[in-house]
Amino acid sequence: MLHPRVVSIGFAVGTLLVQLVTANAQDRRVPASPGEPQLSFAPVVERVAPAVVNVYAARVVERRNPFFNDPFFRQFFGRVPREQVERSLGSGVIVDPTGLVVTNYHVIEGASEVKISLADKREFDADIVLKDERSDLTVLRIKGGHERFPVLEFGNSDELKVGDVVLAIGDPFGIGQTVTHGIVSALARTQVGISDYQFFIQTDAAINPGNSGGALVDLDGRLVGINTAIYSRSGGSQGIGFAIPANMVRVVVASAKGGSGAVKRPWLGAKLQEVTAEIADSLGLKRPSGALVASVAPGGPAARAGLRPGDLIVSIDGADVEDPNAFDYRFATKPLGGSAQVGLIRQGRAMTVAVALEGLPDTPRNEIKIRGRSPFLGATVANLSPALADELHLDPQTEGVVITAVADGSPAQSLGFQKGDIVVSVNNQRIAKSADLERIANGGGRQWRITIDRGGQQISVMLSG
């Protein structure tokens, strides 16, 4: 079973102080001195450990028990508080001396209070600077820290090779800072199902609950990944852990440093699909690989570059593209501005096109929380833009009004409305703007005829209030 919320904390590893004695595989001898066989990661750990922190998040949740709605049961149990505080433990890495800390999104999801505990046991409150659910990353800022904090330097995760030694540091099960080591077991894992960008580093360094958001580092002490999940049947480490590559982390941190509340990534303007064995056979490929262009949005970067449906993308800036996930990751880690060289095969002919690296167009979303007595009470809706559609995994060309959030315990939740539902019409009135839905909801009524679009399928329901 995959546990996407059980994550390891990697730690930066510096250069070894002891040089390995190179020898032919057949050259076996007794060590010349007691120090010769002694190898240690201690100098590296001592140097990088101060930059790994613990992250504590608290969130208030409402506990609803239907029995307490009945006066008969309340007379026995008395007044029962409905709000409880949940706490979660994770890890983080200081990436800027002013106190910027990167951790996993799922560590602080829904948190009303976040605290940072340094390696020297000092504790600080923290502000949330940027949340990026799509990559499962969040950037925090330490409050009240008037000092220069120790940091980890970013490494180039694309330079990692299977077999490289890596270290991980974290606070598994809350027992205190712990260091583990292992190797890079695999690269570009795309079938993990943790976040939108499936391109994970796999390692056998021991990762356990409580390590989410920590650093995976190479033997030069550079941050090469943020550990985010383990594959486990028991809930503990079984030698299969996954880390978000540092090159993706770098993009999120750069957005936070630039003052943006959201990560700005390039937009391709095309839908890609996986190459199956049948498709590969029809294209004359030796094996299924690449990303097949399924459709192209008019006027988008792909269209202007000349991409067409049926094109097979095989590389980007010289890096091979094995599947759509690999393309999404590599394209998303490109900085805005300039262009990317996309290699493709069209009708058996290899060619390269330059795709502009530009962000998704965004228009005013006019986000509104519905408060009128209606089936939508508790839902938050917004006008769709290409940028918002992309965030919600919808076709960027989709127009209309979309549900962006549903409050826990609200009528909208109990009726089954979901984030990403597009409200097509209410009581036979077309919903073109979020203000249209607010107006109709505030008007009240006993009969509601609602049509929504969910995943490309239209659903119509009749409700009585």
Catalytic residues: 106, 136, 212
Nearest to 192 by CA among 232, 225, 224, 155: 232
> Following DSSP, what letter does each residue of 160-174 receive, concatenated?
--TT-EEEEEE-GGG
Half-sphere exposure of 458 (CA within 13 A, CB side): 5
Distance CA 421, CA 402 (A): 6
Residue 415 is given by DSSP the state T
Establish how many alpha carbons lie within 13 A of residue 251's alpha carbon, considering only the half-sphere containing its beta carbon: 24
Q: Phi then psi for 113, rounded to 5 degrees?
A: -150, 135
Is the distance from CB of 437 to CB of 443 less than 8 angstroms? no
What lies within 8 Å, CB to CB, of 433 at 6+ separation is 366, 383, 401
The CB-based long-range contact list for 270-276 (8 Å cut-off, 24+ gap) reads 270/294, 270/295, 270/296, 270/297, 270/300, 270/302, 270/303, 270/307, 271/295, 271/296, 271/395, 272/313, 272/324, 272/327, 272/328, 273/324, 274/323, 274/324, 275/312, 275/323
- List Cα–Cα distances, 372 to 161, 380, 442, 450, in angstroms: 57, 12, 4, 16
User: Strand pairing of 222-231 and 153-154?
Assistant: parallel
| CA dist., res. 247 & res. 329, Å (int) | 9
Identity of residue 298: P
Ordered DSSP codes for 79-137: ----EEEEEEEEEEEEEETTTEEEEEHHHHTT-SEEEEE-TTS-EEEEEEEEEETTTTE
Cβ proximity of 172 and 52 under 8 Å: no
